[in-house]
Amino acid sequence: MPEDQLAGLAAVSVVAVVEQAYFSLQVVYARRKHSVSPPATSGPPEFDRVYRAHVNCTEYFPIFLTVLWTAGLFFHQGVSSLCGLLYLYSRYCYFHGYRQSPQQRLAPLYLGAKVLWALIGFSSLGIVCSLLRVYAGVDLVDLVFS
Task: Identify whether 52 is a catalytic site residue.
Answer: no
Task: Identify whether 99 is a catalytic site residue.
Answer: no
Kindly list the distances between the CA atom of residue 57 and the CA atoms of 19, 66, 125, in Å, as whole numbers in the listed order.
Answer: 10, 14, 26
Of 31, 57, 72, 75, the residue at the interface with ligand GSH (CB under 6 A) is: 31
**Span near ligand GSH by CB under 6 A; candidates 38-46, 64-72, 82-90, 136-144:** 38-46
28 contributes a contact to ligand GSH by CB under 6 A: yes
Binds 28, which of its own copies, ligand GSH, none (CB < 5 to 8 A, cut-off by type)?
A: ligand GSH
The DSSP output letter for 106 is H
Binds 62, which of its own copies, ligand GSH, none (CB < 5 to 8 A, cut-off by type)?
A: its own copies
Q: Which amino acid belongs to residue 10? A: A
CA 54 to chain centre: 13
CA distance 117 to 122: 9
Active site residues: 32, 105
